[in-house]
Structure 1
């Protein structure tokens, strides 16, 4: 049964609140001499990842919409394939950036329907910048969160709408990762006919740079998972920026059997 716009708006507010409060948990750990574990895939894990995940789950479980989170045990695809909609969550995107203490890490929450991202929320705990779509996924916004905030609806009414750049003047600003500027990425940049400039950012902030007009294109020729991209994809899609597979030119899909993304372009 399709959700009504009012219901989706309530889901958006719930996800925004979950992201901001998860960010507070992350910052509490950030201020300590935290330990770093290694997961089975050799990716790092901290107490901040775990605590943020618990906070987000506590909010999203109440919506009765199933959750795919990096830090949850994954549900078997034979069950997942029947989900019409689901949350896709990365409670701490950019754990490597968190460990380096460079501030470029985020909380990512997306609502996906039939494989397509509908809502996207990205929160940056250090700068308190919040990026999000509206409840119908047709606009995206940015808001700097105040510690005294009590009414989350205030954010919806007072956030600044963001837009991608329309400038064709060189240089072409290409978003690159501090960790993943590999040969394929270098070859893509070399293929551009205009003068280029590399804009480095960690985590899902790379999507935000394109969505708010601070970069033109983000090529990703390195492994990512669905929880790394779903929220950023929603935010970009809402402002008319495409997030497409490099091989087919078709949009990334979500809640796939394999949660690994193919290589993609954001432009």
Structure 2
């Protein structure tokens, strides 16, 4: 694994180290009496969100790449549209799970180039693990304690498994009627057993990278920083994240930060992908 040092750039390693430091800061505040306030959209924000955001912005500044961060006012698109590269950062993804103390939260950092997520990392502060990668780089998982010991990093590759049923990831806290319709559609169309796996935050992509989940449909509101890292990493093992309306990959650094409805496909499911009739049900539109 010694060639890992030549796979990733210096600023990618800076992002990894930054996520480890942010995770340590978050854990210091976890299960403590932290201040909780509401943002303008009525979603909660904690001291841990803000402290992690401040740390990440400070450390990523040395890369001289602009930053889009959930807890910072987004710069006007008239300026952002000229950025060829930008970091997309969720300093604490899964704030509701952090407050509920169910361990399902993460730190997400993605590198966007020309509106595409080319590199991503998702750090699990509780388990002290990280997955990193992208289509050009492959995907690796390591314990925080092995960050400097590249020989202990595990490369994750596209699997060759024979599955008896499909496992579908759904949100721990956010659901919609379209999600219910999709699950019924899927079960009827494929006449197969399905298992649902609830989890908060981008940790769903950990399950996809471990080949434990094959589909992640999302028909509720998400923002760019929620998904960018997961998309980059999933593409690194041959998966896809596609808009339900256009069947195109999600784009980033858009005029508005909202994601459209999407489905994340594990490579094990892609053989069935063409059998989707995207216009058969209104939840695909």
**TM norm structure 2:** 0.86
Contact 1:246 1:264 in 2 (8 A): yes
Contact 1:173 1:216 in 2 (8 A): yes
**Alignment deviations for residues 197-256 of structure 1 (CA, whole Å, 9 cap, x no partner):** 001111001122222211110001111000001111111011111000011110000000
Unaligned residue ranges in structure 1 (runs of 5+): none
Contact 1:13 1:153 in 2 (8 A): no
| 1:262 match | 260
Describe how 1:1-267 pairs up with structure 2 within 5 A. Answer: 9-133=9-133, 137-146=136-145, 152-154=147-149, 156-192=150-186, 193=190, 194-267=192-265
CA RMSD of aligned residues (A): 1.8
1:166 is displaced (CA, Å) by 4.1
**Alignment deviations for residues 18-38 of structure 1 (CA, whole Å, 9 cap, x no partner):** 000000110111142112111
1:109 is displaced (CA, Å) by 0.4
Matched residue pairs, number? 257
Contact 2:170 2:217 in 1 (8 A): yes
1:124 to 1:131, Cα distance in 2 relative to 1, 3 A: same
The list of structure 1 runs, each at least 4 consecutive aligned residues, that deviate by more than 6 angstroms after superposition, is: none
**TM norm structure 1:** 0.91
